[in-house]
């Protein structure tokens, strides 16, 4: 910590606590990240899904990113053109990660507000307490500009762990990736002491979520068991038995807890997925595969057009 200038007269600075503390929110209460998922277009009660995440800045980034990726549409293609099954999120996961990392690194930690990540039917919004440094404007952010971190003591370790770069290209990278994905450019504005980043979700002409651009991809699948379970079933059908690490990589997730709570446990409970080593549930060699019931459900989805 001394090498990273995280000590002040031998005592940990606030940045040190945020980066490496066991319970940072005991000392910096509003350093948490609040995540909410709304089925409509506005903030309305009752909130269908609401979670407050705590931990180090690294934990906050991973938890918030996993929250978004577990809620947006995910497509799995076929092996028609390659042995590698193509997959695609409706919002590129690099864009989601960049939006959340920017908020965590550049927020004003003296503010009584917390970062808010809100997913609506038509957009993702990330509200970041703070404002721009005097040398930057909203317009300058869209072009080449110097990196001016609000919290340099946090930015340096985040750079060393490859969460960020130090060239001021974050917003431009997001714009480029959104354009490549067929999405509108991210919108940025200042609102009530917060820096607000909005990423629009792509809509089809009929008003629903659009189909992915790559050939032979499946559409967003739905079933009575829920979209997350169905995503797992589609993945296992295309790739065969997979380990926790394989599934995390395929979905671009980091949290094993979220993987288990959102995907694996519900699938096991419904008898759609089974472990390959049932007598040793915690084995490092454990994998998961479809059951006959899971295969029949996917066949029914095919007939109903759920994977067309």
User: Tens of pLDDT along 64-84?
Assistant: 998 898 888 877 666 566 666
pLDDT(224) > 80: no
Per-residue CA distances from 152 to 97, 172, 203, 289 (Å): 19, 21, 38, 46
**What distance, in Å, lies between the first and last C-alpha atoms of the chain?**
54
| Averaged pLDDT, 84-91 | 77
- Domain 227-304 indexed as CATH 3.60.21.10: no
Q: Are 204 and 210 in contact (CB under 8 A)?
A: yes
Max mean pLDDT among 208-222, 229-243, 252-266, 290-304 falls in 229-243
**Cα–Cα dist 119/123, whole Å:** 6
Of 42, 93, 46, whose CA–CA distance to 70 is shortest?
Answer: 93
Of 152, 166, 107, 102, whose CA–CA distance to 131 is shortest?
Answer: 107
Q: How many CB atoms lie within 10 A of CB 137?
A: 11
Regarding beta strands 33-37 and 115-119, do their DSSP bridges make them parallel or antiparallel, or are they unpaired?
parallel
Q: Are 163 and 230 in contact (CB under 8 A)?
A: no
**Cα–Cα dist 102/105, whole Å:** 5
Burial letters 3-40, b for 16+ CB under 10 A, else e: ebebeeeeebbbbbbbbbbeebbeeeebbbbbbbbbee
Cis preceding linkage at 46, omega within 30: yes
Share of the chain above pLDDT 70, in %: 86
Q: Which residue has the tokens 């600075």?
A: 13
What the block records as the tokens of 137 is 């404007």
Q: Are 286 and 277 in contact (CB under 8 A)?
A: yes
Residue 156 pLDDT grade (very low, low, confident, very high; cuts 50, 70, 90) = very high
Q: Are 284 and 262 in contact (CB under 8 A)?
A: no
CATH architecture, domain 11-84+91-200: 2-Layer Sandwich (3.30)
CATH 1.10.10.10 in the chain is located at 227-304
pLDDT(99) > 90: yes
Look at 93-102, 200-209, 237-246 and tell me which has the smallest mean pLDDT.
200-209
Regarding beta strands 123-129 and 115-119, do their DSSP bridges make them parallel or antiparallel, or are they unpaired?
antiparallel
| CA torsion angle 83 87 92 93 (round to 10) | -90
pLDDT(130) > 50: yes
* Predicted pLDDT at 257: 83
**Cα–Cα dist 159/152, whole Å:** 10
CATH 3.30.565.60 in the chain is located at 11-84+91-200
């Amino acid at each position: 910590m001394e090498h990273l200038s995280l000590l002040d007269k031998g005592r940990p600075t606030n940045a040190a606590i945020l980066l490496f503390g066991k319970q940072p929110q005991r000392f910096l209460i509003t350093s948490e990240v609040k995540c909410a998922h709304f089925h409509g277009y506005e903030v309305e009660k009752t909130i269908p899904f609401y979670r407050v995440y705590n931990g180090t800045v690294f934990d906050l980034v991973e938890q918030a990113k996993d929250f978004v990726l577990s809620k947006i549409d995910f497509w799995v293609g076929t092996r028609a053109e390659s042995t590698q099954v193509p997959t695609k999120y409706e919002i590129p996961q690099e864009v989601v990660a960049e939006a959340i990392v920017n908020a965590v690194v550049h927020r004003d930690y003296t503010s009584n507000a917390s970062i808010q990540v809100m997913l609506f039917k038509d957009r993702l919004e990330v509200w970041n307490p703070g404002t721009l440094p005097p040398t930057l404007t909203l317009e300058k952010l869209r072009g080449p500009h110097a990196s001016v971190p609000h919290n340099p003591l946090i930015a340096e370790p985040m750079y060393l762990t490859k969460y960020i770069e130090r060239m001021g290209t974050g917003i431009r990278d997001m714009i480029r990736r959104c354009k490549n994905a067929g999405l509108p450019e991210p919108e940025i504005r200042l609102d009530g002491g917060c820096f607000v980043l909005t990423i629009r979700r792509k809509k089809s002409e009929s008003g629903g979520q659009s189909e992915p651009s790559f050939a032979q991809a499946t559409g967003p699948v739905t079933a009575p068991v829920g979209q997350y379970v169905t995503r797992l079933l589609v993945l296992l059908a295309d790739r065969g038995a997979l380990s926790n690490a394989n599934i995390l990589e395929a979905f671009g997730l980091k949290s094993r807890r979220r993987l288990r709570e959102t995907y694996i446990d519900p699938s096991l409970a419904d008898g759609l997925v089974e472990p390959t080593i049932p007598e040793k549930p915690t084995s490092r060699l454990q994998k998961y595969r479809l059951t006959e019931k899971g295969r029949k459900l996917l066949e029914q989805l095919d007939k109903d057009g759920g994977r067309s």
